[in-house]
Amino acid sequence: MTQASSGHVYLTLKDQHAQINGIIWRSDVENLKFEIKNGMEVECRGNLDVYPQRGTYQIIIRRIRPKGVGALELAFRQLHARLLAEGLFDPAHKKSLPAIPRHVAVVTSPTGAAIRDFLQVLTRRWSNIHVTIVPTKVQGPGAAAEIAAAIRVCNRKVDFFDVIVVTRGGGSVEDLWSFNEEPVVRAIYESAIPVISGVGHEIDVTLTDLVADVRALTPSEAAERLVPNYRDIVDMLDATKHRMARTILARIQNAHQQLATLATRTVMTQPLERIRQSAIELDFLENAMNRAARQKIAKSDQELAAMTARMNAISPLAVLARGYSLTTDAEGKLLLNAESVKPGDRITTRLANGLVRSTINEAATERQ
């Protein structure tokens, strides 16, 4: 099989017994839903033609489909496998929906049953929400391009819309095929705004469902997945209010009980009694401190007297008082022998009651 630069596909059809060349013109190739591969078993319908230059027969193929499986099913499998390998269906890429969106863009047909079901459920559950319908075709030629373009237009106002809902009602595989087209799948994958897919009925699964951040089984369920039930929120708030009231009332009652218990204590019934007891304890501590202080002072006086006696016993002044004296030279050094001075030196003698300054006339060493 070969696809020329012109877009035409040239291939050979063969079985166990024979083979024949075939051509699919570009206009027919563009309408194929699946990718033709070598070795594929197919069923073809077309016109027999002769190639004059070689004098050979060939088939001008107008319709071709896989044998044993529908063309759309094969196309679905091929595109799913390729996009899966690229990671377009990876859960890690999916974004969370806001708890309560303020503005929603709905990409769908404005005249279909899907938008009526969606709006009916949405307004019943949560009326305080803005909805912008972005009208598109939802089936037939050009529908996929319109849906992809609408999603990209919404993403130009990423701060305006909180969620994009892509939806339509049920139908045949052919009716829903626009939501299996690669441009739509890639537009949802590239969307910076979270996307909910609510296409067809519960049994219908499209590639849009797989790539979207949230899949809803029907348009009505898309509205249910989008906003909470107002009545449920009110009931929850009421339950929370009653629970808080019970909690506060229980705390007030507990505080009253604690206050009643405190009111029976002596400190509350006889507040001056505690002061009198504290005054008695203070007087007792004061007397004890005074006794301890006097005992400490007396003991210190005794220790000081004993120390004074010991100091007086070894004091040089006490020795001088017994008739001894101390003699120093002019520099104040104590003289221990006569050899330390010579005639003319000045000396000082300390007595018990004063000093005597003298000049040496003679210094002699006493002989034993």
The helix/strand/coil state of 46 is strand
233 found inside a domain: no
Do residue 182 and residue 219 come from a single domain?
Answer: yes
Work out the mean pLDDT of the chain and round it to a whole number. 86
Question: Which pLDDT score, from 0 to 100, does residue 317 have?
Answer: 67
- CATH number, position 192: 3.40.50.261
Quick one: pLDDT band at residue 252, thresholds 50, 70, 90?
very high
Q: What pLDDT does 76 receive?
A: 83
More confident residue, 178 or 366: 178
Kindly report, residue by residue over 216-226, the tens digit of the pLDDT: 999 999 999 99
Pair of tokens at residue 61: 């193929």
Residues 83, 62 share a domain: no
> Within a domain: residue 238?
no
Among candidate residues 175, 192, 224, 184, the one with its CA nearest the CA of residue 208: 184
Whether residue 131 is predicted with pLDDT greater than 90 in this model: the reply is: yes
On the question of pLDDT at 5 being above 80, the answer is yes
The first and second tokens of residue 97, run together, are 């929906």
Assess whether 190 and 112 both reside in one domain.
yes
Mean pLDDT throughout 283-289? 90
- 223 and 81, same structural domain? yes
DSSP state at residue 334: B
Q: Which residue has the higher pLDDT, 95 or 44?
A: 95
Domain-located, residue 98: yes
In tens, the pLDDT along 6-62 reads 888 888 888 777 888 888 888 887 777 777 777 677 778 888 888 777 778 888 888
Strand pairing report for 346-351 and 354-359 = antiparallel
**Distance between CA atoms of residues 204 and 206, nearest Å:** 7
CA angle in degrees (0–180, nearest 5) for 244-250-254: 145
290, 336: one domain = no
pLDDT at 65 over 80: no
Confirm whether 246 is domain-assigned: no
Indicate whether 237 belongs to any domain: no
Q: Would you say residue 130 lies in a domain?
A: yes
68 pLDDT higher than 60 = no
Residues 133 and 206 in one domain: yes
**Does residue 93 share a domain with residue 53?**
no
- Are 211 and 134 part of one and the same domain? yes
Q: In Å, how far from its chain's centre is CA 39?
A: 52
Residue 128 and residue 90 share a domain: yes
pLDDT band at 321 (very low <50, low <70, confident <90, very high): low
Boundary of a domain, candidates 68, 101, 121: 68
Q: Is residue 316 part of a domain?
A: no
Q: Which domain holds residue 291?
A: 267-311
- pLDDT at position 124: 92
pLDDT at 91 over 90: yes
Helix (H) or strand (E) segment spanning residue 123: helix 113-125
One-letter amino acid at 149 equals A
Domain check: are 47 and 169 in the same one?
Answer: no
Reported confidence tier of residue 130, pLDDT bands at 50, 70, 90: very high
- Domains in the chain, number: 4
Confidence label for 111 from pLDDT (cuts 50, 70 and 90): very high
Q: Of 59, 48, 44, 43, which Cα lies nearest the Cα of 10?
A: 59
- Which residue would you say has higher pLDDT here, 71 or 213? 213
Q: Are residues 92 and 215 in the same domain?
A: yes
Burial class (CB in 10 A: 0-12, 13-18, 19+), 235: exposed
Residue 109's pLDDT is what? 94
Domain boundary among 68, 101, 117: 68
Does the pLDDT of residue 93 top 60, yes or no?
Answer: yes
Looking at residue 153, its pLDDT comes to 96
Is the CB of residue 183 less than 8 Å from the CB of residue 144? Answer: yes
- 102 in the same domain as 141: yes
254 domain-assigned:
no
- More confident site: 91 or 21: 91
Q: Where are the alpha helices (DSSP H) in 315-366?
A: 316-321
Q: Where residue 361 falls among pLDDT bands split at 50, 70, 90?
A: confident
- Cα separation, 60 vs 62, whole angstroms: 6
For residue 204, give the 3-state DSSP assignment. Answer: coil
C-alpha distances in angstroms, 225 versus 93, 125, 128? 19, 11, 16
Task: Give 293 or 331, the one with higher predicted confidence.
Answer: 293
